[in-house]
Amino acid sequence: MKKKLLSIALAMSIVLTLFSGISFVTSAFTQGYFGYNFGNGKAKITDVDKNISGNITVPSYLGGCLVTEIGEQAFEDCEKLQSITLPNSIEVIDDCAFAGCKALKSINFPNALTHIGADAFEDCFKLKSVVIPKKVENIGSAPFNGCSDLESIVVASGNPYFHSKNNCLIRTKYKDLVSGCKNSIIPADGSVVNIEPFAFCGINGLTSITIPSAVKTIDNFAFEDAFGLESVYISSAHVTLGAFHGCKSLKTVTLGSAVREIHQDAFGICPIKNVFYSGTASQRLQFMNIARGNESLVSAKWHYSSANCMHFPDVNYDDWYGKAVEYATYSGIMTGYANGKFGTADGIQRQDFVVILARISGDNINAYKGKKAFKDVDPNAYYAPALAWAKDKGVSNGYNDGSFGVGRKVTREQIMTFLHNYAKLKKYSTTVSTIGKKQILVQYPDFGNVSDFAKEATYWALSKGVISGKQVNGKRYISPGSSAQRCEVAAMFYNINKKGIFAK
């Protein structure tokens, strides 16, 4: 298998320590399912009956010798094996030892384990989680290559050679990310500077990934055949041979202006539609070298911006909200999360929406520092000045009990009310004709669900085009009591800007 041979060759380049202290006799013996060799009182499993199935326990002794090693390809292609229990005596799991065990869901790693070979668990599609013991000092290349369902990677505390963070297996000294899984988030704290070959190969369920600026190299085939990957953000890394080859769902790529080299087939067989580049077209032509085999990347629609612009891996810029998110973030109205995502489908809390309004108001919000406008507001909280401003200016009076509702998700009708009050504060047009109101009542069958306090605001928002409602089976609905998603909030501000609603 081409991948396996290449991966083994790469593993050799890492210069792992070989276990040469035990001399095994060349003749093979059999006991039960297991073929083995032995020497110096220790046994090495070299082969097993490929028909083994279900749950298997490896014995501690074979031929009277302590079992310390699972040999190269020993369990390879045992496709019916579902779980395996290893004895505490196991110190070595060799290259490809369990490769192709397609039904293997679980395996324990004994505390005595010191070595895991290259491709040791390649294509173990059902393997869910791994816990690496603290004595492990050598791990070959791509040990979990093709483990499509892998969702958790943990290294026991106290291991001086490896550690885990955000479900990433990391060589501590060299800052290499060895393996990832569907729940991985690459650390941005400098603990990872290189992503090793096949680290995420074949992972299923990983839909977006952000490569932080600390990462300098995305090595060969690192994300190959990560079929679910839809978007990737690369800050500055060197993108090597086949890094994202075969990512058949990858449609959006965001590249920092510091990206210089994209090697052959790095994005081969990827249906890329949009590339967001945090620089100019001339910068791209001057500084970026894109090798052959990346035709889909080159022919995609390129979007250029200033070097400090950020595009988000969880935003589909072709969808209805794409331009809105672009506008909201470029203008500084909204920002993304610390993990590099925008949080497209997330709700937004009441206090955070008012912070946005305060931000665009141009008023001196600092004048409200330390003021407690509502009983549930900490005057030292980041949002306290904005809420004090909102109460003072009549943008929000909170609830009847004197609270603002800090921490509650803001609803669509509440947003329209905040915006309507803000428009009145700034003396923007808020009038809606009687005919316009009647048309709205006919067009939106759920207008009757709008709370009394929000009716005038809803008339205004619909008539001005701040919102247009949600279309279901040919009809449009306001959904006044539902929480507003962040992408919807971005769309509201985009509409306000595009239609000149906040213009005198």
Band of the pLDDT at 10, cuts 50, 70, 90? very low
Q: Mean of the per-residue pLDDT values for the chain? A: 89
Summarize pLDDT for 288-346 with one digit per residue, the tens: 889 999 999 999 988 877 444 557 888 877 788 888 888 788 777 888 887 788 999 99
| Average confidence (pLDDT) over 162-184 | 97
Q: Which of 107, 144, 149, 145 is closest to 125 using CA atoms?
A: 149
The last residue of one of the domains, among 139, 154, 188, is 188
Beta strand 42-48 with 34-39 is: antiparallel
The lowest-confidence range among 131-145, 163-177, 320-334 is 320-334
Q: What is the pLDDT of residue 310?
A: 59
Residue 121 lies in a domain: yes
3 state DSSP class of 80 = strand
User: Is residue 428 pLDDT above 60, yes or no?
Assistant: yes
CA distance 251 to 50: 41
Band of the pLDDT at 22, cuts 50, 70, 90? very low
Residue 32 lies in a domain: yes
Domains: count for the chain: 2
Residue 205 lies in a domain: no
Residue 26 lies in a domain: yes
Q: What is the pLDDT of residue 289?
A: 87
Q: What is the pLDDT of residue 12?
A: 39
User: Is residue 7 pLDDT above 50, yes or no?
Assistant: no
- Residue 125 CA, chain-centre distance (Å), reads 20
Q: What is the pLDDT of residue 27?
A: 39
More confident call, 284 vs 496:
496
Residue 326 lies in a domain: no
CATH code (residue 94): 3.80.10.10
The last residue of one of the domains, among 188, 219, 236, is 188
More confident call, 352 vs 24:
352
Highest mean pLDDT of the ranges 27-36, 182-191, 285-294:
182-191
| Average confidence (pLDDT) over 230-247 | 93
User: Is residue 456 pLDDT above 90, yes or no?
Assistant: yes
Residue 59 lies in a domain: yes
User: Is residue 389 pLDDT above 60, yes or no?
Assistant: yes
Q: Which structural domain range is residue 482 located in?
A: 348-498
Residue 477 lies in a domain: yes
Q: What is the pLDDT of residue 494?
A: 87
Residue 226 lies in a domain: no
User: Is residue 51 pLDDT above 90, yes or no?
Assistant: yes
| Average confidence (pLDDT) over 464-490 | 91
The last residue of one of the domains, among 167, 188, 209, is 188
DSSP per position, 295-359: HHHHHSEEEE--TT----TT--TTSTTHHHHHHHHHTTSS---TTS---TT-B-BHHHHHHHHHH
The lowest-confidence range among 71-80, 173-182, 208-217 is 208-217
Q: Which residues pair with 231 in a beta bridge?
A: 208, 252
Q: Which of 5, 238, 48 is closest to 142 using CA atoms?
A: 5
The lowest-confidence range among 155-169, 301-315, 402-416 is 301-315
User: Is residue 474 pLDDT above 90, yes or no?
Assistant: no
Q: What is the pLDDT of residue 11?
A: 36
- Taking the CA atoms of 110, 67, 135 and 179 in sequence, report the sign of the dihedral they define: negative
